[in-house]
Amino acid sequence: MLIDSHCHVDFPDLSEDITGVVMRARSAGVSHFLCVSVNLADFPRMVEITAPFEDISLSVGVHPNETLSHDEEPDANTLLNLATHERVVAIGETGLDYFRSEGALDWQRDRFAVHIAVGKALQKPVIVHCRHAAADTVELIKTEGAHECGGVMHCFAEDWATAREVIDQGFYISFSGILTFKNAGELREVAKKVPLDRILIETDSPYLAPHPFRGKTNEPALVRYTAECLAELKGITLEEVAQVTSDNFSTLFPLAKVSKGLHI
């Protein structure tokens, strides 16, 4: 079985046909999904839309690119309360993005630190987004003690030095459809070096559809293409990739109710 460790099935592109999305994924051997929150305003809707599906776990958090007024900024108590929801297995997505946000970004670093504090308080891992901010992301993971709750660098597109730094902090590395892109040769070299017992796979759907669907709407069924790419890079079978990445997922997110039995 395959697990999509990071998707946004509550986003309109996918939620309009969420039953179809889940069915197609199950047919492709995907037996669990982590639906990742990007802001608190949409969290109740995400809980509601995904409620009929036992194989969807949730996270709660505010994405680093969400621009909010000061009084909307999530404080630790608000996040703590939402994160105690029984289907919430992780905190995020959080992290740093210096590509899409400009100016003084202390607020992004503060927000990231609040998410790590909540992860530590509840012993729920953090899901970390990082774009053009690798050094500061690693720095905050270290200074805020994120190894105490663990976490994952999602949609990984950084270099091997960054991967190794976060692995040393107990983090996992999640590869998305980017791994299959024709121009992602450097990332594939990084993937060869990341130990198998530290790897997760994801779609980040509806974004980042893998080759040969690049540019189209992505959905969890397509996580298989990233798994196949990884199998080739590691010189192992698709079944082995499925097994090890699913085991890794269950280790990192022990609260996720992953059912066994679906084979690919």
| CA pair distance 105, 111, nearest whole angstrom | 10
* In the complex, least distance from residue 130 CB atom to Ni ion, rounded to whole angstroms: 12
Judged by CB under 5 A, the chain residues 199 through 228 that form the site for Ni ion are 204
Q: What is the Cα–Cα distance from 6 to 82, expressed in whole angstroms? A: 19
Point out which span in 27-35, 41-49, 180-188, 196-204 binds Ni ion (CB under 5 A). Answer: 196-204
Residue numbers 104-163 binding Ni ion by CB under 5 A: none
10 near Ni ion, judged by CB under 5 A: no
Residue, CB closest to Ni ion: 204
Contact indicator for 8, 219 with CB cutoff of 8 Å: no
Nearer to Ni ion, 68 or 264 (CB): 68
Q: Which residues contact 6 (CB under 8 A, 6 or more apart)?
A: 34, 36, 93, 127, 152, 154, 155, 174, 176, 200, 202, 203, 204
- Nearest CB to Ni ion, comparing residues 55 and 204: 204
Q: Compare residues 115 and 196 and give the one whose CB is closer to Ni ion.
A: 115
Minimum CB distance to Ni ion smaller for 204 or for 219: 204
Q: Where are the alpha helices (DSSP H) in 145-257?
A: 160-168, 185-193, 223-234, 238-252
Residue written as token pair 């597109």: 157
The span of 44-52, 158-166, 178-186, 197-205 binding Ni ion (CB under 5 A) equals 197-205
Number of residues that bind Ni ion (CB under 5 A): 1
> What residue ranges bind Ni ion (CB under 5 A)?
204
